Amino acid sequence: MIQEHLQSILKKLPSGVTLVAVSKFHPVSAIQEAYVAGQRVFAESRPQELSAKVPLLPKDIQWHFIGHLQTNKLKMVLPFVSLVQSVDSLHLLEAISAWAVANQRTVDVLLELHLGAEETKQGFTEEEILEIVGGENRVPGVRIRGLMGMATNTEDVRIIEQDFARIEALFHRIRAMGVPDFDQLSIGMSGDWPLAIRHGATMVRIGTVIFGPREY
């Protein structure tokens, strides 16, 4: 099942777009099944769950972190991930930078833009993001690779489209500023990823369509 779901997504995914399999709340056996089918990039949203799963799974998996990250949990996450997609505050960005410097590592991150969704206040405003990428505000040890966003949770395609258009415009504006290594736009989930592709996604984060419903 998982293999077929992956294949049907990959068939429709333009080359150059990374499929991030969101495995949160799903068992290690499900991740193994996706791995055997060839999937290598997975994302988790809770530090505890990530650090429990990592040692049980192959070493060549690239893990992304996509959940709210508290600064006292950095040690549980940063050693294991190739990308933190959900940097949503200056406080967190600076804490990641301090960890990176202390551990002589470079941490790749995306800045999360707060989109329309009322249910979450998570994420930066556009102004805050422009200030971070354009400012003198240096964050050593951190490479800002792009933007992440979650569209409003609605059936109304026009609203989702507006959200994606807004993050796409900001992404291109920052690209035009010549910010080095800024090349990733992570938008699109199970319900809206084809639309995200049309808005220039370079990464889609898909859970339910691959693994089925999550059991909370």
In degrees and rounded to multiples of 5, residue 64 shows phi and psi of -115, 150
Q: Does 202 bind ligand PLP (CB under 6 A)?
A: no
Binders of ligand PLP among 143-172, rule CB under 6 A? 150
Binders of ligand PLP among 46-85, rule CB under 6 A? 66
Binding segment for ligand PLP (CB under 6 A), chosen from 53-61, 136-144, 151-159, 206-214, is 206-214
Q: For the chain, how long is the longest CA-to-CA vector?
A: 49
Question: Shortest approach of ligand PLP to residue 177 CB, angstroms?
Answer: 26
Q: Does 107 bind ligand PLP (CB under 6 A)?
A: no
The token duo for 206 is: 């898909």
Who contacts 30 (Cβ-Cβ below 8 Å, separation ≥6)?
2, 23, 211
Who contacts 192 (Cβ-Cβ below 8 Å, separation ≥6)?
151, 160, 164
| Minimum CB distance to ligand PLP smaller for 201 or for 206 | 206
| Minimum CB distance to ligand PLP smaller for 4 or for 105 | 4
Neighbours of 25 (CB within 10 A): 16
Q: Where along the sequence are the contacts to ligand PLP (CB under 6 A)?
A: 22, 24, 45, 66, 150, 189-191, 205-208
